Chain A
């Protein structure tokens, strides 16, 4: 029988995930059973604590906002527009709703009946996985695996073995560090320190493993005075050694570690102690294998001796980022982890450079990261932006001190370049003598930027205002920050001019609500998400936060969250800005990961309708913000 209405519903559903991967027959039966709910603006579809509905929902037209509860100032969890699914809880658990869905504007939503849909997820795993991701991204609950189990508890047979990490072979440290059994304990301790390892394999004259020494042995046996540090290691080693074959699975390794309680397993060529040791496996390797490889990378960074090792790690970080990203781990957690790792790479680069300097630094100094790294927003590899500040020195020493730090900076910049961070095209790097200055020089520089504002200076100063100490002396940096804030105090003109500069990029949407694309050059017809959307949002956050004299928050989304706290009247608006900042960064990162570039230029025809709408929503917030800035800092007088 012909069903024109259901056919239209079908046409709509099949455009959006997860319905796009459901087979036609099933999708038709879903379409025939959909309910269409009309919501006038402000109408509540379900409330926190309401018992579950028989449907979950998909926005057909308009917008639905998900909040913690129905109070006007409740925290916004998500805003859904055309094609977004929400209200998934009844599909997954029997609990009441944990959030409230309100029509933000007049809306039509499709209610998808749970009883028709459930058999389909049991057949189509990808459909279920998409919904779990969607669900967890809204509940802010990263423990999606738990829900995956709930989802599929009746059908474990469907799980593929490659999904179960317990059955994967474990990775262990190859080329283990060994020591001969007759070497002295102190030599073993030194070797462990040099290689930054917590254990050594003790070998006999035939290089076969006979025992192990660990940190613990030194603590228990040597430091306590039980043995002298001059005894041969065989006196203090653990033996016999537990040897295992390679290709252990994660589960086997775990079991072995529990059984012999040593915390270390020796891997030999054939699994017996009659062949040479080829690797060592610790509890740590198991932790790493269980997906928490951020800690593994962190350790590797600290041990790295060469820029090329750091480069390799940087590439692994990119892999990790990709993994996190497509597992829908909340963005603030991803940025935090990636920032810590990036920071560690920078610190290690500075340490390596310092080791190569003929002398130790003559005075205290600090290494400053600027721009996106300073704002803790760097996810993809970008240009270097950094600077160096050193302690004030008497005039006669100045030349030599400055020379020392310029050479050091040059080395750090070169190492970072080898790691994969391109040189800054505008040479905003510490190796540039202009950006490697004493504290007093910096203070003068900032004061100049603030009091004699010129257009080019604004561009410089804006990235310098987001500085963050990566390495070196804390007090130097605090003093510099303090002097900047007191200088901005009596200078409304500074804010006006900063605002004017921030407003120079027009709103990302043109008159006909079309995306403004680049007119010419290499990126013609592409949308520049950095210049059009992220930069204005970042610049405006900086101006507002500086005007409130808030130090120490550099991250754009966090700045807006702070502003929401400082200006309760504008709370909702600032939270929308924070949301926009997060989703734009996410957007850029996603495109960067897909195209292996910085994600800055976006091809509009590659965007789905859904993505375009998400972007437009962010842009609306930006335009509103631009209006606020214009009024607040009296920019119109200048325009």
Chain B
């Protein structure tokens, strides 16, 4: 007889199975210097998780204290939803002349790129939710990666002082300014990812981890 209580097993595409295979056993005791971070930024048509869409994903890998340019990732996505108001922020026009890919192809490429790296972004929640919404639309589960937020980590480097009113959110511009990172290509996904990567490395140094610190001690921060 047909079993009404058995959940229907969904067949996921091969690229998702490959992506998921990287998460079989997680080792939080891995030394920090061996952890691969994917620092990313997305450009979207707006700030609504439901109505707006990703136009671009820019990312770069950082490991130990090194950013390898060969690992840079920059993908432009063909989208039907288009919000003219956001054009002013990042200058991505609907009829641009960049090479674009479909949303599902972009996700496929991104998952193959990110594997089980720790995802780092500035206000990570926004970028992760945008990617997750896209995964959902394409009938896929949510991202499995652990995440870090440079806005949060940066605040951790400060002694919170109510008089200074420094217990607040910091924009990427503010963080870059304080960390002496020359601002270039702001509001392009790859440019912001690069700025965020530099901010991440500089913030990490300021958090004064001991020589043999593990991933766990960073995630606990």
Residues of A within 8 Å of B201, CB to CB, are: 38
Residues of B within 8 Å of A43, CB to CB, are: 65
Residues of A within 8 Å of B180, CB to CB, are: 61, 106
Q: A2-B76, A5-B60, A40-B205 are in contact. Are A33 and B98 (CB under 8 A)?
A: no
Residues of A within 8 Å of B68, CB to CB, are: 35-36
Most buried by A among B58, B69, B182, B191: B69
Q: Does B221 contact A (CB under 8 A)?
A: no
Q: How far is the CA of A3 from the CA of B99 in the complex (A)?
A: 12
Q: Are A38 and B65 in contact (CB under 8 A)?
A: yes
Q: Does A108 contact B (CB under 8 A)?
A: yes
Main secondary structure of the interface of A (DSSP, over half): mixed
Interface size on B, residues (CB 8 A): 26
Contact with A along B138-171 (1 / 0, CB 8 A): 0000000000000000000000000000000000
Most buried by B among A4, A34, A40, A61: A4
Report which of A2, A3, A33, A36 forms a contact with B67, defined as CB distance below 8 A. Answer: A36
A30 to chain B, nearest CB (A): 10
Q: Are B74 and A32 in contact (CB under 8 A)?
A: no
Report which of B65, B184, B185, B193 forms a contact with A37, defined as CB distance below 8 A. Answer: B65
Q: Does B108 contact A (CB under 8 A)?
A: no
Q: For B185, give the chain A residue with the smallest CB separation.
A: A4
Residues of B within 8 Å of A61, CB to CB, are: 180, 182
Contact with B along A15-42 (1 / 0, CB 8 A): 0000000000000000111111111100
Q: Does B70 contact A (CB under 8 A)?
A: yes
Q: Are B194 and A5 in contact (CB under 8 A)?
A: yes
Interface size on A, residues (CB 8 A): 23
Q: Does A8 contact B (CB under 8 A)?
A: yes
Residues of A within 8 Å of B123, CB to CB, are: none
Residues of A within 8 Å of B191, CB to CB, are: 4-5, 8
Q: Are B69 and A32 in contact (CB under 8 A)?
A: yes
Q: Does A337 contact B (CB under 8 A)?
A: no
Contact with A along B175-195 (1 / 0, CB 8 A): 000001010110010110110
Q: Are B69 and A1 in contact (CB under 8 A)?
A: no
Report which of A4, A31, A39 forms a contact with B58, defined as CB distance below 8 A. Answer: A4
Q: Are B69 and A4 in contact (CB under 8 A)?
A: no
Residues of A within 8 Å of B198, CB to CB, are: 36, 38, 108
Q: How far is the CA of A108 from the CA of B98 in the complex (A)?
A: 30
Report which of A2, A32, A106 forms a contact with B70, defined as CB distance below 8 A. Answer: A32
Contacts A4-B58, A6-B69 supplied; 14 other A-B pairs, CB < 8 Å? A3-B72, A4-B185, A4-B191, A5-B190, A8-B184, A33-B69, A34-B69, A35-B66, A35-B67, A36-B68, A38-B65, A38-B66, A38-B201, A61-B180
Q: Which 10 A-B pairs have the closest CB atoms?
A: A4-B190, A40-B205, A38-B201, A36-B67, A38-B65, A5-B72, A34-B69, A35-B68, A5-B194, A5-B190
Name 15 A/B residue pairs within 8 A (Cβ), A-sorted. Answer: A2-B98, A3-B72, A3-B74, A3-B190, A4-B185, A5-B69, A6-B69, A8-B185, A31-B69, A35-B67, A36-B67, A37-B65, A38-B67, A38-B202, A38-B205
